[in-house]
Amino acid sequence: MEQLSRFEGQAVVVTGASRGLGRGIAQRFAQEGANVVVASNEEGVHEVAAELEALGVQALAVVCDVTQKAQVEDLYAQAVGRFGRVDVSVQNAGVITIAKVEDLSESEWDLVLDVNTKGVFLCCQAAARHMLRQGQGRLINTASGQARDGFIYTPHYAASKMGVVGITQSLAKELATRGVTVNAICPGIIATDMWQYNDEHWGRLLGSQGQGQLMQAWATEKIPMQRVGTPEEVAGLVAFLASRDAAYITGQTINIDGGLIMS
């Protein structure tokens, strides 16, 4: 990829950054010159930070549970302590479980809503405090195609991601005149660890046989481009929303799914 420097000297926080979309997003910002704080509840963030530093930028790994307010506030305090500011915050941490309605447990419901919705708000809140003092910033939230069209066996996940859209719109209206934009993305079928899990569990409940077959079938039958997306493609959208070119965009939720959902 051509080396760019749109974010040189900026500080970017990415949650859920130990793998999948978060890792890809963190890599894209590092490739474009940003110093990156990679956060996750998994120790893998230390490996990701080392990868980013090999690209010639500074990186900070923070193990953080986004459902815990004190840990979230400490994450952003560490970011500011290391880099002096927070220019971009990408709320990407997320979890999913898949179960029939009669089997879906209350603990599963609580976990998914806590991470995917409460976690997004807590990170937006903590990041916004620093951004408002600076007079500028970008908040970017990872929703899902399920924020547009809830899928079978995942009412809790659909609710959590629809909640992300609501948070995005509300905060965008509040912060629009204060230098902070707030947008969300809705990835469709993207080749990540989460989709491997989804393929196995949805495949079992829907009667699909063979690892990888369901996801590929959906791509062929439902997506006009007839292929699965990549973390790098999602990262490109996030980088655009964080750039100066997106200065007049706020409160928007943008699909990135090969045409799966057109709205």
Known catalytic residues? 157
Do 124 and 139 touch, CB atoms closer than 8 A?
Answer: yes
Tokens of 121: 């708000």
Q: Which residues contact 108 (CB under 8 A, 6 or more apart)?
A: 97, 99, 156
In angstroms, rounded to a whole number, what is the distance separating the alpha carbons of residues 145 and 161? 8
Using the CB atoms, write b or e for 73-103: b if 16+ within 10 Å: bebbebbbeebebbbbbbbbbbbbbbbeeee
In angstroms, rounded to a whole number, what is the distance separating the alpha carbons of residues 20 and 54? 19
Furthest C-alpha separation in the chain: 54
In angstroms, rounded to a whole number, what is the distance separating the alpha carbons of residues 19 and 68? 21
Do 160 and 96 touch, CB atoms closer than 8 A?
Answer: no
State the number of CA atoms in the 13 A half-sphere of 44 facing the CB.
11
Do 139 and 171 touch, CB atoms closer than 8 A?
Answer: yes
